Amino acid sequence: MTKATTEDLLRELRETIARQERELRLHQSELEQTNAGLLALHAEVELQRQRSAFLDEVSRSVSASLRGREVVEALVGLIERENLADCAGVWLVTDETRKLKRLPRPDSAPDADVKRVATGHQAHIEPKRLLLPLTVGPHLLGVLELHRDSEFTGDEVSFLTAVAARSAVGLRNAGEYERERELAERLQHAMLPTLSTPDELELCARYRPAATGVNIGGDWFDAFTRADGTIVLTVGDVTGHGLDAAVVMGKLQNALRAYTAEGHGPAEALRLAHHLLRGLDSTLFATAVVADLELETGRIRWASAGHLPILACGEDGVRHLERPNAPMLGVPFAFDIAEYEETITPGSDLLLYTDGLVERRAEVLDDGLARLTGAFAEVTGLPTDEAGDRILSEMLGQDEHDDDVCLLLCRWSAQPERPSRRGARHIPAPR
């Protein structure tokens, strides 16, 4: 092989190597770009996954409560936890005046930008401040206000707009719940009577709606003086909640007052109420206790249909006026209702109540009754209003109760003219 041929071969080899190196560098560059693209795509997918998960968490959090303040607290906490804003708040639209109230810091006043967003339903965007309308359809529920030291990007504004949309649904649900609950409470209180009794008898009546749910309850109390001077006391509870329970409650309360005002004793009044409820187009039942008290003699007569026992507190301490009960009112059969009689002395307290005061899901009924007995004993001698409030506080505490609560506390404070003492006796009532 000649020298020229060798040099040609070497030159071709060098050119081939150079070409392959260029192609290798090209492939490496393409690979790096592909890897960078995959990493960017992965980061974008992860970001979208995180944001989707966050939006789901927002939906769950703002739906976990039906109270506007708690919804706002949950939303603000999530936004600040994720560092989406250094400071967050919500301007809620009040139902009564349509004014804007900020949570937190309710003493703040909205500026012109907040009012403009509330009026026009359009976002107000500044580099370091966002005002986003909280709307469901055409209805404005509030304005979400966000501040932070760094500037908001366009992508973040879009995401926070989605957060505001999710939050608005929770606020709407809370607002509807609170309006319905307020209406239910007003209706319930409007149906409860005004108590009027002689000066020697002190009364304290308390009604507390269930802390959860929006439905009207079926608990009631009543106390009045019959034409012959006898004091009549009643407490009852219709099963279930809602408008049907409230309607039945109103009918039974008025019926029992009418029956006892006519002079019927407790057992006969309950028997008539039972047949009245059976004649209604309703599947609901009710428990009730009726008692009448003669102040001249201290005689108390009572009858109970499926209700918890009256508590009496006197010189001998607290005792249950507990005798065999009749079935609940409204069950599909007739039954005898027993009537009982005892004598109490001046200074005695009587406590009538509904099961919401003593029943708890995690507690047997006897334990609840024991707690009530202790609470009742501790308030002896206190003014009746204070005593009633103390009993409620002791029995309900700070926990939310899921049933309505009624109590009627009666204190006989005058000395009778002709005291007499009789033991308990059973008085059968006709069917």
Q: What is the pLDDT of residue 380?
A: 86
- The pLDDT of residue 294 is above 90: yes
Q: What is the pLDDT of residue 400?
A: 58
- The pLDDT of residue 330 is above 70: yes
- Write phi, then psi, for 184 (nearest 5 degrees): -65, -45
Cα separation, 141 vs 172, whole angstroms: 7
**Structure token digits, residue 401:** 């109760």
Which residue did the predictor score with more confidence, 332 or 8? 332
- The pLDDT of residue 421 is above 70: no
Q: What is the pLDDT of residue 192?
A: 65
- The pLDDT of residue 266 is above 90: yes
Which residue did the predictor score with more confidence, 129 or 397? 129
Q: What is the pLDDT of residue 188?
A: 61
Which residue blocks in 64-206 are alpha helix, DSSP H?
Answer: 68-81, 112-120, 154-191
- The pLDDT of residue 205 is above 80: yes
The share of the chain scoring above pLDDT 70, in percent, equals 86
Q: 26: pLDDT confidence band, cut at 50, 70 and 90?
A: confident
Which residue did the predictor score with more confidence, 24 or 4? 24
Q: What is the pLDDT of residue 423?
A: 39
Residue 131 sits at the vertex; the CA angle it makes with 94 and 64, to the nearest 5 degrees, is: 55
Q: What is the pLDDT of residue 422?
A: 39
- The pLDDT of residue 431 is above 70: no
Other CB atoms within 10 Å distance of the CB of residue 189: 10
Q: What is the pLDDT of residue 134?
A: 92
**Structure token digits, residue 37:** 């693209």
Are 146 and 88 in contact, with CB atoms under 8 Å apart? yes
- The pLDDT of residue 214 is above 70: no
Q: Among 121-135, 191-205, 297-311, where is mean pLDDT lowest?
A: 191-205
What's the rounded mean pLDDT across residues 258-273?
96
- The pLDDT of residue 416 is above 60: no
Q: What is the pLDDT of residue 288?
A: 97
What's the rounded mean pLDDT across residues 236-265?
90
What's the rounded mean pLDDT across residues 393-400?
78
What's the pTM value of the predicted model, to 2 decimals?
Answer: 0.62
At position 290, the amino acid (one-letter code) is V
What's the rounded mean pLDDT across residues 251-269?
95
- The pLDDT of residue 255 is above 50: yes
Which residue did the predictor score with more confidence, 75 or 241? 75
Cα separation, 12 vs 2, whole angstroms: 16
Q: 373: pLDDT confidence band, cut at 50, 70 and 90?
A: very high
- The pLDDT of residue 425 is above 60: no
Q: 424: pLDDT confidence band, cut at 50, 70 and 90?
A: very low
Q: What is the pLDDT of residue 414?
A: 56
Q: What is the pLDDT of residue 418?
A: 41
- Which sign, positive or negative, has the C-alpha torsion 218, 224, 226, 227? negative
- The pLDDT of residue 398 is above 70: no
pLDDT tens digit string along 61-86? 888 877 788 888 889 889 988 889 99
pLDDT tens digit string along 120-147? 899 999 999 999 999 998 889 899 999 9
pLDDT tens digit string along 85-98? 999 999 988 765 56
Cα separation, 237 vs 245, whole angstroms: 9
The CA distances from residue 17 to 10, 12, 23, 26, 31, in Å, are 10, 9, 10, 14, 20
pLDDT tens digit string along 333-359? 999 999 999 999 998 999 999 999 998
Q: 185: pLDDT confidence band, cut at 50, 70 and 90?
A: low
Q: What is the pLDDT of residue 426?
A: 40
How far the first Cα of the chain sits from its last, in Å, is: 135
Query: Mean pLDDT across the chain, nearest whole number?
Result: 84
pLDDT tens digit string along 143-168? 999 999 999 998 899 999 999 998 98
- The pLDDT of residue 31 is above 90: no
Are 11 and 5 in contact, with CB atoms under 8 Å apart? no
- What residues contact 74, with CB distance under 8 A and at least 6 apart? 61, 62, 64, 65
